Amino acid sequence: MASYRYEIVGADGKKKKGSIEAASQDAAVSELQAGGNFVVSIAAQSALNKDINIQIGKAVKPRELSIFCRQFQSILQAGVTVVEALGMLSEQTENKAFKAALEDVRETVQKGETLANAMAQYPKIFPDIMIHMVSAGEASGSLETAFDRVGKQFEKDAHLSGMIVKSMIYPIILIIVIIGVVAIMMIKIVPTFTSTFDQIDAELPGITLAVMAVSDFLVHSWYILLGVIIAVAVFVKQFKKTEMGATFFGTLSLKLPLFGNLTIKSACASLTRTLSTLMAAGISLTDAIKIVEQVIKNAIVKNALKQAQKDVMEGRQLSQSLEESGVFPAMVYQMIHIGEETGSLESMLDKISEYYEEEVEMATESLMAALEPLIIIIMALVVVPIILAVMMPMFSLYSALG
């Protein structure tokens, strides 16, 4: 009996990891699937690491994976073996975690294991979509094509995420500036005027008293505010890990003004592009939906896909399930329905993804155009009351002296 390390998604949608004893890998897969589980990855483990499950490093960025796939494809096209290709790529990889994983994968493949199973031992390095694409490529003898397709997938993922991050840099800088300006005014400037006002036996405006009270709190009791911020951050982080929290924040991200539109369009682009890539590699629609469900971050979209996978297994159309979820725009399920009726679902998914990738770019630009003046307005609403709180007593004093 051999031992196999596995990662599955149970009937409840939760990921589980562990080890299983079986006569063969196929027998292990059959035993796991008998319980209604979806096998994400499974690989043989030696007696040495049977009870040790160590993952190297953190997830590799999509840009790095894209470059890796492109290089792997080019090397394979040149007639180099998989083992040699892994050795060449590990030598030129600068990311230490990625380099160590590639070296270990190379040794595992050299011992006779498949490339997909070797990669599956490092789920933090190699995403599920990559492992399934490589597995399909090995089974069909088109490994180069598999790396080409998944490389394009990572390129588009990196482009969209990079564009969104780039668009958020300026608003984040503005927010940091606002916080810095307010902190300096409340901690350094306002206390200077407070000592002056205390020497004046005059009634101060309500806004001045409020600002002075806040300033005094920040100067003498700042640790309380820091503790509250840390407590709230920890609570939010833990709450997001719960089913209720994931649902709450998933709904919030879809309903938020400005951001909701970008969130759903990004989800549509990722969904259709990944589905098309997986189906083009010969992966069944139900398995492809299950894999996409793991890629999507938003809990509401994930739940819709989980239900869609169940519906498709029961013989219903994907378009019908997506429509009933009420999550996706009409264009998504209408075009998918056309693809299902005409037998051109893959090409239709490609067209939808191209459309929504352009929509994401336009939505990002619109978000930027709306955020810049909005942040400036917020800055004015915060800074102006502080200035008024300081200046109003001074004007009153000057008038009395005059």
Write the DSSP string, 78-122: TT--HHHHHHHHHHH---HHHHHHHHHHHHHHHTT--HHHHHHT-
The token pair that represents 154 in the structure block: 């990572």
Confidence category of residue 124, pLDDT binned at 50, 70, 90: confident
Q: What is the pLDDT of residues 239-298, one digit of tens each?
A: 988 889 889 998 998 888 878 888 898 889 888 888 888 888 788 888 888 888 887 888
- Give the pLDDT of residue 61: 82
Q: Give the residue-averaged pLDDT of 360-367.
A: 84
Average pLDDT, the chain: 82
Contact 339, 348 (CB under 8 A): yes
Chain position carrying tokens 């490093």: 57
Q: The pTM is what?
A: 0.67
- Please say if the pLDDT value at position 21 is more than 80: no
Residues 6+ apart with CB under 8 A from 255: none
Q: Strand pairing of 15-22 and 38-44?
A: unpaired
- Please say if the pLDDT value at position 164 is more than 70: yes
Chain position carrying tokens 């010969």: 282
Confidence category of residue 398, pLDDT binned at 50, 70, 90: low
The kind and range of the H/E element at 2 are: strand 2-9
- Give the pLDDT of residue 171: 79
- Give the pLDDT of residue 335: 92
- Give the pLDDT of residue 51: 40
Q: Give the residue-averaged pLDDT of 338-355.
A: 89
Radius of gyration of the chain (CA): 28
Confidence category of residue 228, pLDDT binned at 50, 70, 90: very high
Burial string for 165-195 (b: 16+ CB within 10 Å, else e) reads eebeeeeeebeeebeeebeebbeeebeebbe
- Give the pLDDT of residue 78: 86
